[in-house]
Structure 1
Amino acid sequence: MQCRVDVAVMIGSGVPASLRAMGQSVCWVVLLDGERRGTAFSSREEAQACRAVWLAQLNAGTPDSLH
């Protein structure tokens, strides 16, 4: 089964309170087949790095426990 891994931006009230408390009004999240996985990232680069790890694990045939 082919999984889709994306990075999405969250703005305003979608940003977790912990990041808003630090002055962040934007964050990025990783989506696996449209569902958020893991934490919110304060930079797009961090989210892209996480996405790359997900893709590598999925391409290596990591067990379905990741889903």
Structure 2
Amino acid sequence: MNSQVDVAVMIGSGVPASLQALGKRVCWVVLVNGERRGTAFASRTEAQECRAAWLEQLRDTDRPGAARQAG
């Protein structure tokens, strides 16, 4: 299974209230197959790190025999 993992930017009213309260007008989110996963990030670097973790997890899941090795 090939999953698409992206980082998207949210601007203005799309930014969660918690980040707006800190003066942030921009945030980044991770999308897996077009669906938002996890929290909004205050920096693109944090979102890219989360994206890398998702890619690693999905890579492990997609490996043949991965389910048998996990248990």
TM-score using structure 2 length: 0.85
Partner-residue secondary structure (3-state), 1:60: helix
Question: Percent identity, aligned pairs only?
Answer: 70
Report the RMSD for the aligned CA atoms in angstroms.
1.2
- Structure 1 residue ranges without an equivalent (≥5): none
Q: Shift of residue 50 of structure 1?
A: 0.2
Aligned to 1:20: 20
Aligned to 2:48: 48
Aligned to 2:4: 4
The total of aligned residue pairs comes to: 63
Are 1:37 and 2:34 matched, yes or no? no
Are 1:61 and 2:68 matched, yes or no? no
TM-score using structure 1 length: 0.90
- Structure 2 residue ranges without an equivalent (≥5): none
Q: What is the CA–CA distance in structure 1 between the aligned matches of 2:61 and 2:23, rounded to whole Å?
A: 39
Greater C-alpha radius of gyration? 2
